[in-house]
Structure 1
Amino acid sequence: MKNNEFPLAESALPAAKASGWRLQQGAKSLEEVNGTIAVPQQGKNWRKFLAFIGPGYLVAVGYMDPGNWATSIAGGSRFGYTLLVVALISNIMAILLQSLCTRLAVATGRDLAQACRDAYSPAMAWFLWIGAEIAICATDLAEVIGTAIALNLLFGMPLELGVLLTALDVFVVLYMQSKGFRWIEAYVLVLLGIIALCFIVQIALADPDWGAVIRGFAPTTQIITNPEMLYLSLGIIGATVMPHNLYLHSGIVQTRKYGGTSQEKREAISYSTWDSSIALMLALAVNASILILAAATFHKAGRIDVVEIEQAEALIAPLLGSTLAPLLFGVALLCAGLNSTVTATLAGQIVMEGFINFRLRPWVRRMITRGLAIVPTIIVTLIYGNKGTANLLILSQVVLSLQLPFAIVPLIMFTADRKKMGALRSPLWLTACAWVVAVAVIILNLKLIYDVAMG
C-alpha cells in the first residue's frame, strides 16, 4: 500500500490554479483498468457505441438493489399502481445526475472523489471521504441483509450464516478484476438479465390490469394530498438516488480509451450518457415490476399491509397459485444482492483512492468494508431476529440520505464551472434541471429522515 500526500511542488500550483483546480490531476481513477477498453476511432457509430456499453449497467445495479425492494413492495401493496409515476420521476432524476458524472469524468479526467480532492482543502477532502465511506458501508449493509434474506428464502439458511457467507463474494470480484473489466460488466449484465427474466415470468403469472398499469404512470394530486401516499413516495425516491453511484460512474467511465480531442470527448459524453440512460430505463422496468407484482397480488387480494421482503415471498405462492413464483422472487433478490456487492467494491476503491489518494490491495479494502457491514448485522440478527434486520435496512437508507447532498452539490457545481470544465461544461438548461433535482431530492430525503426520527 502507499499514501501520496496532498501538497504539490510549488511550481505546479500556478498551473493547477489556472485550470480552476486547487491541485493538478493526480493518479488515474482505477489505475489498473483505466483506459483499457479501446474505442474504435473509425467506422460506424454503432461500433463506437458498443464500446461504451457496460458502465451504465453497473450504475443501474444501485437503482435496483435490495434497499429498493421494500419501498416498491410497500407502495404496490398499499396503493396499487398509483405510485408507478413516482418510480418514473425518480428514474428521470437519476438519469440527469448520472449524465453529469459522465460529463465530469470525460471533460476533466477526474472522478467525483478526485475532483473534490483537487478543488477543496485537505481537511474538507477528508471530511467528505469519511462521509462517503459511511455511505458505502450503509450500502453494503443493505446488500448483506438482502443477500442473507435471499439465501434464507431459497435454502432455509439461517440469517446469521447467510450474512457470514456474503463475505465470500470478495473472491468472485477479485477473480473477475484479474480477468479484465469487461468480465465484471458481463457478470453484471448476466445477473441483470436473470432478474428481468424472473420478474417477466412472475408478472405473467400475476396477470396485472395493464390499463391500470398505464394509468399509474400519469401524475395525480392524490400523491401530495394523501399523507401515507406521500410518505411512501418519499421512500421510493430516497431509496433510488444513492451517493455511491455518483462516485462509481465518474470512475468506471474512464475505463474507456476515448481519445483526448474535444470532438472525441464530446462523442464519449454522448455515448456514455446513452449507455447509462438506457441502463437506467432497465432499472426502472425492474423497480416498476416489483411494484406491479405487489399491486397485482397483494393489493388486489386486499393485503395492503405488506411491507417486508419476507412477507412478500411468503404470500406470493398462495396468491398466485404457483410454487414457481416465490422461487423466482428469491432468485431475483439473490442476483440483486450479488450484483450490488460488485459495484460497492468498485465504489469503495474509487472513493478511497480519489479523496485521499490512499491505495490498498483490493481484497484488503473489500474485507474491511464487508466486515463493517457483517458485524452489526449479525449482532442485530442474533438479538432481534428478522424484524431487527428489517429495521437495520431502513436505517441504512437514512444514512444514505444524509450523505446525498455532499455528493450531489459538488457534482453540479463542478460541471457548471467553465474554468474547470472548459468548453464541455454543462449547458445552462442542464445545470438548472440538475439544481431542481438536487433541491427536490435533498428536501424529500430530509423529510424522510425527519419522519423516521419522529417514528
Structure 2
Amino acid sequence: MTTSSSKHSSGWLSQGERNSLEEVNNTVSIPAGAGFWRKFFAFSGPGALIAVGYVDPGNWATSIAGGSRYGYTLLSVILISNLIAMLLQGLAAKLGIATGRDLAQATRDGISKHWAVILWILAELAIMATDLAEVIGSAIALNLLFGMPLLVGIAVTTVDVMLLLLLQKKGFRVLESIVIVLMATIFGIFIFEVIASRPQWSELLAGYMPSPEIVTNPAMLFIALGILGATVMPHNLYLHSSIVQTRRYDRSEAGRREAVKFSILDSVGSLTIAFVINSAILIVGAAAFYGRGLEVSEIEGAYQMLSPALGIGIASTLFAVALLASGQNSTITGTLAGQIVMEGFIQFRIPPWLRRVITRLVAVVPAFIVTWVAGSKGLGELLLWSQVVLSLQLPFAVIPLVMFTSSKSKMGQFVNSRPVKILAWLSTAVIVGLNIFLVAYILMTGHELG
C-alpha cells in the first residue's frame, strides 16, 4: 500500500486527489507566536458555519410544538442532542486536520468506485433535502413579513444564488463573518423573545433534567424523537471535515494538535450558541403558549399567536426576521457541502456557480409544484419528508466518521482514546437507532410526530 506524501497517516490509499475545497484550502492566516485569544479568533469561523445546520427552519416547528404541548420538559432532549452533536462535530474536525482529508475523500479511500457513486448520490439527496428546508423556511418568512405569496417567495429564493457567488469572491473569511452576523441576529432576537415571554425559571431549569415521562408518554416520546432525529445533519460532518482545512496552520504534528484544539473550541462555542437558540425556541413555545393552553404545531401559527400571547406587537415580526435569517444562513453551507461531496466521492469538479444553481433549482422545483397543487399544507408535508431523507442518509456519514477516527492506522497519534470511542459508538447507536425509529413511524403513519 502506498501513501501520498501530502497526507499525514499511513492507513490511507494514495489516490492523488486534490485538496478539499482547493480554492480556499490553507488560505486563512494563523498568526505565528500569537497569544491564546488571537489564535482562537483566527481559528474561529468554521464552527459558526456548522452551527447553522442546528438552527435551520426544519427544526423550528418541532421545537415550538414540543414547548407548546409539554412545557419545558423536552429541554433535556435538546441538551442531550447538543452534547452528541459536539462530540461528532469534534471528530469531523479532527479527521480533517489530522489526515488532510474531508469525510467524503476518506470514505472513498475505503470503498469501490461503484459504492462511491452510490454514497455520493445519497449525500447529494441529503444536501438537496437540506436546501429544500431552507427554501421553504425563507418562503414562509417572506410571506409572514411582507405578505408575499408562497409561490413568489419560493421564486425569490433563487436570487440568493447570485448574492452568494459575489460573497464567495471576497474570500472565505467574509463568508464566515456574514454567517456570524446572521447567527448573532437570531441569537439576539430569541433572547429578547425569552425575556419577553417571562418563563418560570425554576421550571425551565428543571426541564434540563431528563424526565421518565418522555419515555412513558408516547406522544411526548414522538416529539422527542423528532428533536433527536434532526440533531446531526449529515452534510455538516462532510462540511466540517473540510472547512477546518481553510486555516494556514503548521502541518507538523504539533501544529495539527494545536489546530485540533482550537477547532474543537470553536465548534463547542458555536454549538453552545445553537443550543441556546434551540432552547429559546422551545422556551418561547412553552412560556407563550403552554401556560395559556394554546397548542401550536406550525411556524405560521406561532407567528400569528406570538404577539397576542406576549402582549408585544413586534414579537411576531422579530420571530419572522429570525426565520428569514435562519433560511438565508443555511443556503451558504449547502453549496460548500455539495462541492465537497462531489469532489470527494467521485472527484468531479464543476464551477461553484453551476453547483449552486443546480442545488437550488432541485430544491425550488418540487417546492414550487407542491405549493401550486396543495398550498401551505403541502409545503409543510414536503418539509417533513425532507427531514426523512436527511434521517435516511445519516448512518452513511456518522458510521464511517467514527470508524476512521477510531483507527490507529488512519489517524496515527490523533486516534480516538478509549473513552471517546465508547462515547462515539454509543452516540452513533442512539442517534441512528432513533432516526430509524423516526423514519419507520412516519412511513407507517404518514403523519408528523406528535
TM over 0.5: yes
2: CA distance, partners of 1:155 / 1:240 = 31
Cα deviation code 1:345-375 (max 9, x no counterpart): 1111111111111111111111111111001
Give the equivalent residue in structure 2 for 1:10.
Answer: none
Correspondence 1:409 to 2:399? yes
Partner of 2:320: 330
| Alpha-carbon offset, residue 202 of structure 1 | 1.4
The answer to whether residue 93 in structure 2 is matched with residue 102 in structure 1 is: yes
Distance 1:137 1:26 in 2: 25
Amino acid corresponding to residue 47 of structure 1 in structure 2: R
2:264 corresponds to which residue? 273
Which amino acid in 1 is paired with 2:155?
Answer: L
Hey, what does 1:36 align to over in structure 2? 27
Which of 176, 185, 201 lines up with 1:194 in the alignment? Answer: 185
Tell me how many residue pairs correspond in the alignment. Answer: 442
1:142 and 1:396 in contact (8 A); partners too: yes
TM-score (norm 1): 0.95
Separation in 1, partners of 2:238, 2:406: 17
Alignment of 1:50-129 (within 5 A): 50-129=41-120
Q: Which runs of 5+ in 1 are unaligned?
A: 1-12
User: How far did 1:25 drift?
Assistant: 4.9
Structure 2 counterpart of 1:323, one-letter code: G
Give the C-alpha shift of residue 248 in structure 1: 0.6
Q: 1:353-368 alignment to 2 at 5 Å?
A: 353-368=343-358
Q: Distance in 2 between matches of 1:155 and 1:183?
A: 29
- 2:448 equivalent in structure 1: none
Is it true that 1:133 corresponds to 2:124 in the alignment? yes
Equivalent residue number for residue 440 of structure 1: 430
**Contact kept in structure 2, 1:163 and 1:377, CA below 8 Å:** yes
Q: 1:25 to 1:275 in 2, by over 3 A?
A: farther
Per the alignment, residue 162 of structure 1 pairs with: 153
Structure 2 distance, partners of 1:429, 1:127, is 33
Q: Report matched runs for 1:161-240 at 5 Å.
A: 161-240=152-231
Pairing 1:418–2:418 present: no
Letter in 2 for 1:417: S
Runs of 4+ in 1 over 6 A off after TM superposition: none
User: Taking every aligned residue pair, what percent have the same amino acid on both sides?
Assistant: 55
Measured in 2, the distance between the counterparts of 1:15 and 1:388 equals 51
Q: Using the TM superposition, name which of 120-129 and 148-157 deviates more.
A: 120-129
Letter in 2 for 1:277: V
Taking the aligned partners of 1:186 and 1:226, their CA distance within structure 2 comes to 43
2:381 counterpart of 1:391 = yes
Whole-Å separation in 1 of the counterparts to 2:225 and 2:18 = 39
Q: Deviations over 1:293-329 (max 9, x none)?
A: 000011111012x111011101112111222001000
Deviation at 1:41, TM superposition (A): 2.3
Amino acid at match of 1:242: M
1:151 aligned onto 2:139:
no
Gap regions ≥5 residues in structure 2? 446-450
Q: Retained in 2: the 8 A contact 1:22–1:120?
A: no
Structure 2 residue aligned with 1:14? 2
1:351 aligns with 2:341: yes
SS in 2 for 1:28: coil
285-294 or 22-31, which deviates more = 22-31
Q: Are 1:283 and 2:271 counterparts?
A: no
Does the 8 A contact of 1:19 with 1:420 survive in 2?
yes
Q: State which of 31, 36, 50 in structure 2 corresponds to 1:45.
A: 36
User: Alpha carbons of 1:345 and 1:15: their partners in 2 closer, same or farther (altered >3 Å)?
Assistant: closer
When the two chains are superposed, the root-mean-square deviation of aligned CA atoms in Å is 1.2
